[in-house]
Structure 1
Amino acid sequence: MQDVIIIGGGAAGLNAALVLGRTRRAVTVIDAGQPRNAPAAGAHGFITRDGVAPLELTRLGRADLEPYDVNIVEGRVLRAEKLDGEFRITLNDGSTHSGKRLLVTTGVVDELPDIPGLAEHWGKDVAHCPFCHGWEIRDQNIGVIGSGSFAVHQALLFRQWSPNITLFINSAPQPTELELQQLAARGIPVVTGAVTAVHSKDDAVTHLELEDGSRHSVQALTVQSRVLVRAEFLAGLGLVPVSTPFGESIESDEMGQTSVAGVWAAGNVTNMSATVLASAQAGAMAAVSINMDLMAGELEVAMAALPQ
């Protein structure tokens, strides 16, 4: 029996494990080894770790846990149940793990528009967040592929990193008159029509092809993905994702506590816009909240044991 089971071994999960390990809690981290940012060459905006490869960050995070009572388990969670006030987690190999509290940090999966050639460049010269990867494609000829209501904002945002931005409407709503004025004011041309293919040469994006057969040169792309949470296993606990304009999310309070007693969530699974650094911070705050909750329960038991 562990104090805390953490499902997900990215920045949020590992930082939570670090904080909990330092509070002398017994922790098991279950990780399927599929971080959202694995396709990217580096994670950015994390002080002292700017540009670190995602898997290297995971390795360093795990190494930090070695002095503490933290166990890392490789595997994918199939089911989470609450039995007699405790959580039992079943993995794809049939093994089970039990804990008093549960923290979900499984992150999300990015669902991209179904455009041939797009997914192959995701996390490389196809980005979604300028704060994460804008510097790496600065001053390039960047195409914004519209896929939702965020398209105009995305084009205006990336304009800060390059003067060469083109908005391809694709499946996004037609911009309003005000939005067209804003785009014009920033020198952003608008191209209508569906994007039918992303072409590349030597593993680098070269141009887009539209349904009318026209081709448009680009050096990098940005597109709004739809995010889907990795949380199917929570259905047995009555915790299901809620829909948002950009995908799915597990609802929680500012400390990560969900509507299910004993279950916390942190990182992209509850905040799809969280960066690596923000996810790590959210994991730390959830860990503090979990420790306080455990402490309150232990105090109640100790008080009940006092002689009457």
Structure 2
Amino acid sequence: MHTPDHHSVPTPLPAQDLPGLPSTAEAELFDSIIIGGGPAGLSAALALGRSLRRTLIIDAGHPRNRFASHMHTVLGHEGLPPQELLARGRSEAAQYGALFHQGSVREVQESTHSSGPRNLVVGLDGGPQLFARTVIAATGVADQLPGIPGLAQRWGKSVLHCPYCHGWEVRGQRLAVLATGPLALHQAELLRQWSDRLTFFSAAAEPLDEAVAGRLASRGVEIEASPVTEVIGEDERVSSVVLQDGRQLPVDAIFTAGRLIPHDRYLKGLGLEREETAVGSFIKTDSAGRTSHDRIWAPGNISVPMANVPMAISAGTMAGAMANMTMVAEDFDLAQSDSAA
């Protein structure tokens, strides 16, 4: 298996875009620490900043969609490069006082202080511990692809996963769906909308039910049960695939779905509730993105694996607003308690 998050070609965001930790950070209590500076995290930061909240964004600089050159089906930003959206988002969040740090988080845990309001401790990898009233975990997922030679190096270019993101650009071409499990049947049906030249490499979904095979064949989808052993092409472009039985078939683009690995290891010690889905185990959240911990939200792909960029933006905005509302209520509770005392 190959995880594109560890691919060596795309580079992290420039260090100057994600400055060092403020010198006062260890001594202060942030209203919110946002872990992850993608669309969900930046949207949360914007909502919190406009609510006059002291916010820190910790980002490793490896967004999931950095392998793609352009975003699509993002209203108002159609065709915009993903890095451009992040640059705009960082600039907008900074206008409202958000601080940035390039790095990763080792763990999040409860504060051991017994007096005063409950806070969270955010431990940085190779760095200090920081304190926050709320935490928004927006670190997304990694795509772990089958270990087929030539597949991972073309991820985001001609090896794709979302037809709504990339289907228009390859419409009418020789498309293929490479099954990684039974869920690929849905992808095979979906891709038929973009091309009538579609091959379904079904090895990982076999044995196919006769009725399912007939359904795909009814719309002209070719089914190839022999496993794919290699992807061939010039640079980032696919030209053909080699099958285990020795045949070589021409293909212009491959759609596949890798195993999704949520970046949530730093939350393990909190015992958050999880939800088992068809694509893996993910942190369970409510409709506002709140986890089973009343001070932690997890918007975007870290909890909703199929969320695209607009959905992540919406979830981040909601998480930021709800984190602010939680602190608003707490501020009144504490003021009322002090007044009564």
Aligned to 2:158: 125
Rate the CA distance shift 1:124–1:248 in 2: closer, same or farther, 3 A.
farther
Which blocks of at least 5 consecutive residues in structure 2 are unaligned?
1-28
Secondary structure at 1:305's aligned position in 2?
helix
- What amino acid sits opposite 1:146 in the alignment? A
2:99 pairs with one of 59, 68, 71: 71
Is residue 2:90 matched to residue 1:57?
no
Between 1:292-301 and 1:234-243, the stretch displaced more is 234-243
Q: Please provide the CA RMSD for this pair.
A: 1.3
Alignment of 1:1-308 (within 5 A): 1-83=29-111, 84=113, 85-239=118-272, 242-307=275-340
TM-score when normalising by structure 2: 0.87
Shift of 1:205: 0.6
Secondary structure at 1:98's aligned position in 2?
strand
Shift of 1:305: 2.0
Shift of 1:68: 1.1
Distance 1:162 1:287 in 2: 40
How many residues matched? 308
CA-to-aligned-CA distance 1:140-182 (integer Å, 9 cap, x gap): 1011111101122111101111111000112223221221121
Secondary structure at 1:38's aligned position in 2?
helix
Say if 1:118 and 1:197, in contact at 8 Å, map to a contact too. yes
Distance 1:307 1:266 in 2: 37
Distance 2:66 2:281 in 1: 20
Moved over 6 A (4+): none
Shift of 1:226: 1.0
Say if 1:86 and 1:98, in contact at 8 Å, map to a contact too. yes
Secondary structure at 1:248's aligned position in 2?
strand
Say if 1:9 and 1:31, in contact at 8 Å, map to a contact too. yes
Say if 2:206 and 2:225, in contact at 8 Å, map to a contact too. no
Distance 2:308 2:321 in 1: 20
TM-score when normalising by structure 1: 0.97
Shift of 1:244: 2.3
Say if 2:158 and 2:236, in contact at 8 Å, map to a contact too. no
Between 1:128-137 and 1:276-285, the stretch displaced more is 128-137
Distance 1:247 1:136 in 2: 29
Which blocks of at least 5 consecutive residues in structure 1 are unaligned?
none
- What amino acid sits opposite 1:102 in the alignment? V
Distance 1:118 1:67 in 2: 41
CA-to-aligned-CA distance 1:88-135 (integer Å, 9 cap, x gap): 111123122210011100000001111111000111101111011111
Secondary structure at 2:233's aligned position in 1?
strand
Rate the CA distance shift 1:202–1:300 in 2: closer, same or farther, 3 A.
closer
Between 1:132-141 and 1:3-12, the stretch displaced more is 132-141
- What amino acid sits opposite 1:153 in the alignment? H
Say if 1:79 and 1:234, in contact at 8 Å, map to a contact too. yes
Distance 2:304 2:296 in 1: 16
Say if 1:142 and 1:162, in contact at 8 Å, map to a contact too. yes
Identity of aligned residues (%): 38
Distance 1:100 1:30 in 2: 15
Say if 2:60 and 2:103, in contact at 8 Å, map to a contact too. yes
- What amino acid sits opposite 2:225 in the alignment? T
Between 1:136-145 and 1:236-245, the stretch displaced more is 236-245
Say if 1:229 and 1:249, in contact at 8 Å, map to a contact too. yes
CA-to-aligned-CA distance 1:235-262 (integer Å, 9 cap, x gap): 1222375442212321100001111221
